[in-house]
A = this chain, B = another copy of it.
Amino acid sequence: MRKEICLSGSGGQGLILAGIILAEAAGIHDGFEVVQTQSYGPEARGGASRSEVVISDEKIDYPKIIKSDILLALTQKACYKYIENLKEDGILLVDSTDVTKIPPFKGRVYQHPITEDAIKVLGNQLVANIISLGILVQISEIVSKEALKQALQTRIPERIRDLNKKALEYGFQIGENLINIT
């Protein structure tokens, strides 16, 4: 079992932190082998941002994504760019606040206005990353919800922990009711 997750959007959307929390949930709390990566090159300087998580029950030889099993796209640009590398039967979750055009794709597709909800429901657009994680884990079961909660508890400073816990629970709820639109 090797699973590859790509969290994509633009700089400042907290995707590295989301990748670290997902990786620690799988690696420290759920007991898998995990490698978490960010790459910087010309595209990073153009504002595109992605964070990669590879989870396996065996030692990981190649630590970067070959073909994603799961893609989160918070921006239209990221969606266009990274869907090319998503497996045919993969899972795509898009933030419909920005992603209004979903390229043709045969796998499972979920959409929700994540950033809009972060602002309207949680009062802070910076938690769109954590809502996304909640949705992603609810629909994919890639790690246990318990592990994700524990990783969040460790990684988020106390001052903003309650807000982020609420964002995570909100994400679980949204995920429970989301329907594959393909």
Contacts and interface: CB of A to CB of B under 8 A. Distances in A.
Nearest to A34: B40
B45 A28 contact: yes
Given A20-B16, A63-B63, A64-B63, A35 B27 contact: no
Interface of A: 16, 20, 23-24, 26-28, 31-41, 44-45, 59-60, 63-64
The secondary-structure label for the interface of chain A is: mixed
Contacts of A23: 38, 40
A36 B37 contact: yes
A63 B35 CA distance: 11
Given A16-B20, A45-B31, A63-B64, A26 B40 contact: yes
B39 A35 contact: yes
Nearest to A32: B40
B45 A20 contact: no
Nearest to A35: B39
For this chain, the copies found in one complex come to 2
Nearest to A12: B154
Contacts of A36: 37-40
Contacts of A44: 27-28
B39 A34 contact: yes
A143 to B, nearest CB: 12
Nearest to A159: B159
A30 to B, nearest CB: 10
A136 to B, nearest CB: 18
Contacts of A39: 27, 33-36, 60, 63
Contacts of A16: 20
Contacts of A64: 35, 63
Nearest to A64: B63
Nearest to A45: B28
